Amino acid sequence: MHPTELRSRIILFTMKALEDKIAAEGRNLGHGILKVDSFVNHQVDPQLMQACGEEFARLFADSGATKILTCEISGIAPALMTGVAMKLPIVYARKSKPITMPDTVFLTTAPSHTKKRDVEVMASPEYLRAGEKVLIIDDFLATGQTIMALARIARAAGAEMVGIGALIEKTFEGGRSVLSELNVPVHSLARIIDMSDGRIVFA
C-alpha cells in the first residue's frame, strides 16, 4: 500500500471513530452546546484520545512545533496525547491563578460558551518563552474565541504560532474564519455542520 493511501485510511479511521463516539455518547443540549463529558472533559477515553493525538502528530509533523498550548480543562487530554506522540511538552493555560504562579503572567479573557460569561485565561512566563514555536490543540473550535485567547498569550510571550488542531469543529459558529488572521494551518478531526432541532449532523 502506498504511504499516502495508508495515511488517508488512518485519518478516516480516526475521524470515523471520533464521530461514532460523538453520535453514540454526545448530547445536544441546545443553543449550540454539545456535551461530551463521557469521553473528553470529565471522563476521558484514553484510547480514543491517543488515536486523536497520533493523528494531530501526523497532521503537524512538519510544523516545527517546540511546545503545545491548550486551555484547561477540556483541552488537556487531546493536547497531552499529541505531546506524547510528538515528544513535546504541553502548557495548559489556567482559568484561575494558583499561589505557585508568578505575580506577572500572560493574561487575557475569552467568552465561555458553557459558563455564559467571560473567563480569564493565563499562562506563566516560566513555561512559555520568546522564540518558541507553539501548536495549539483544543477540544472545540466553535466561535474561535478561546483559541484566539491562546494565540494572544503566545504572542505576548513572543512565541510563534505554527498550527491549530481541534477535536471537534462546529462549522456553523464561524470560528475558522475568525482564526484566518493567524495565517496558520487549522485542522479539526470531526466537523459538525448542524445542531438544530436536537440533531448532530457531521460534514
- Whether residue 130 contacts residue 156, with contact meaning beta carbons closer than 8 Å, is answered with no
Share of the chain above pLDDT 90, in %: 79
pLDDT tier at 112, thresholds 50, 70, 90: confident
| Pairwise CA distance, residues 195 & 35, whole Å | 12
| Pairwise CA distance, residues 188 & 167, whole Å | 6
pLDDT tier at 96, thresholds 50, 70, 90: confident
Mean pLDDT rounded to a whole number for the chain: 92
The predicted pLDDT at position 20 comes to: 95
The predicted pLDDT at position 4 comes to: 54
pLDDT tier at 87, thresholds 50, 70, 90: very high
pTM for the full model?
A: 0.91
When the candidates are 3.40.50.1010, 3.40.50.2020, 3.40.50.410, 1.10.510.10, the CATH number that belongs to 3-202 is 3.40.50.2020
The predicted pLDDT at position 13 comes to: 61
The predicted pLDDT at position 85 comes to: 98
Nearest to 140 by CA among 171, 101, 167, 108: 167
pLDDT above 60: residue 7: no
pLDDT above 60: residue 8: no
What's the pLDDT tens digit per position in 123-154? Answer: 999 999 999 999 999 999 999 999 999 999 99
The CA R_g of the chain, rounded to the nearest whole Å, is: 16
The predicted pLDDT at position 5 comes to: 57
Nearest to 18 by CA among 51, 59, 61: 51
The predicted pLDDT at position 187 comes to: 97
The predicted pLDDT at position 14 comes to: 73
